[in-house]
Amino acid sequence: MERIVLCTGNAGKMAELKALLPPSVQLLGLADVGLPADLPETGHTLQANALQKARFAHERCGLPCIADDTGLEVDTLHGEPGVYSARYAGEQRDAAANMAKLLGALHGVQDRRARFRTVLAFIREGVEETFEGRVDGTIALAPRGLGGFGYDPVFIPAGSTLTFAEMDKAAKNAISHRARAVEALVRSLTARYR
């Protein structure tokens, strides 16, 4: 049995990854290895933050570690809020305030192209790898839908008329940035640990 630490305090991310990994992998949370739920992330790119969190945990527990970072990149805002998506409207990390600020910044703007991007870092015995997933789309004129979390009510994936928050969970998970990054990681782990 290979034990791997997932560096998140988010139970949803834990369950999502657990369901996708081969049965020979036992997924542990930060608390299982005596680490705090919030690891330092002070980088200026998604990749830097994912690696920072995975390194922090790996250096302390010695086990293989996975960490992720996600951002919403809006073309006309030169990629903002990007790596700062969680705190776009302030330290309180409030989804409604973040969306209100984003819609304000795009008021009257025609070009609403954007993408979600997730970077997953995996470190095992000091060897570092990263995997990326993205989904392109546009920012809606106003929030729509009750599902999902974060920026889901204002993100319309390419090829859909619905926002992520209007889609059911399975439909979002079939195309989401995080699912695509996880698939790339799982392909690599499955080849190694089956």
Give catalytic residue positions: 69
Binding of residue 69 to ligand IMP (CB under 6 A) = yes
Binding to ligand IMP in span 167-186, by CB under 6 A: 176, 178
Asked if 163 touches ligand IMP (CB under 6 A), the answer is no
CB 128 to ligand IMP: min, Å: 18
Residue 151 touches ligand IMP, criterion: CB under 6 A? yes
Alpha-carbon span 86 to 156, nearest angstrom: 19
Distance CA 114, CA 140 (A): 10
Residue 171 in tokens: 């439909």
Contact flag: residue 70 with ligand IMP (CB under 6 A): yes
In angstroms, give the least distance from the CB of 88 to ligand IMP: 7
- Residue 194: Cβ within 10 Å count: 9
User: Contact region for ligand IMP (CB under 6 A) — 27-35, 53-61, 150-158, 186-194?
Assistant: 150-158
Q: Which of 150, 163, 166, 181 binds ligand IMP (CB under 6 A)?
A: 150
User: What H or E segment, with its residue span, contains residue 170?
Assistant: helix 169-175
Strand segments (E) across the chain: 2-6, 25-28, 65-74, 81-82, 113-124, 127-139, 155-157
51 contacts ligand IMP (rule: CB under 6 A): no
Question: Considering beta carbons, is residue 52 or 85 the nearer one to ligand IMP?
Answer: 85
Q: Per-residue b/e over 111-133, b at no fewer than 16 CB within 10 Å?
A: ebebbbbbbbbbbbeeeeebbbb
- Residue with tokens 């036992």, as numbered in its chain: 26
Q: Which one, of 61, 87, 70, lies nearest residue 4 by Cα?
A: 61
Task: Kindly state whether residue 157 participates in binding ligand IMP, applying the rule CB under 6 A.
Answer: no
Q: Which of residues 73-112 bind ligand IMP (CB under 6 A)?
A: 85-86, 95
Binds ligand IMP by CB under 6 A, chosen from 152, 166, 182, 186 = 152
List contacts with ligand IMP (CB under 6 A): 69-70, 72, 85-86, 95, 116, 148-152, 164, 176, 178
